[in-house]
Amino acid sequence: MGSRVTKISRHLPEPMTVLQFKDYLMDFIMKQNQMTELQNLTNEEEAVVEQLMTKKYQTWEWNYGRSPEYSMNKKLRTKGGSVQVIADIREGHIRDLQFFGDFFGEKDPQELADQLIGIRMDNSAIADVLAKININEYFHNVTNEEMIDLLTK
């Protein structure tokens, strides 16, 4: 059985750049919907889109809370060295977390991991925990922002 993941370029009639592909895709969509030109949204339609975006698609529940269980393994190179994070996320919350790398610190990074376990996978929730500690005690020359990016991006 073949992979369910493929490269789009394998299915195109000819090689093309990203911009050419965008135009190709737009032409295809317009033909499929029997459109001759794009229509701009009215101010009222834009307001509805903005409201839907704010009230639904930019919420924690939509972006993290309804996410399936997943594991992540990420690595970041910082001034203080490499920091690798391995985490299990369930129901939008950190359920297991471990740090590895060639960084230096006075404290065991598992202490920090233990403080993050159970919190929401959310920039502000992670920032709240990091604001209460000195990150450099665990990872020399690593900033709170770098740690937040490592965990959430």
Structure tokens at 36: 């001759």
Q: What is the pLDDT of residues 25-52, one digit of tens each?
A: 999 999 999 988 888 999 999 999 999 9
User: How confident is the model over 100-135, as pLDDT tens digits?
Assistant: 999 999 999 999 999 999 999 889 999 999 999 999
Alpha-carbon distance of 130 to 147, in angstroms, equals: 9
Q: Outline which parts of the chain fall under CATH 3.30.390.50.
A: 68-152
153 CA to centre of own chain? 4
Beta bridge partners, 83, equal: 76, 101
CATH superfamily of 68-152: CO dehydrogenase flavoprotein, C-terminal domain (3.30.390.50)
Residue 120 is given by DSSP the state B
**Which residue type occupies 46?**
E
E-only strand ranges, 81-143: 81-90, 93-101
pTM for this one?
0.63
Q: Has residue 11 got a pLDDT over 90?
A: no
Cα distance between the two ends of the chain:
32
Place of tokens 């490592």: 150
pLDDT band (50, 70, 90) for residue 9? confident
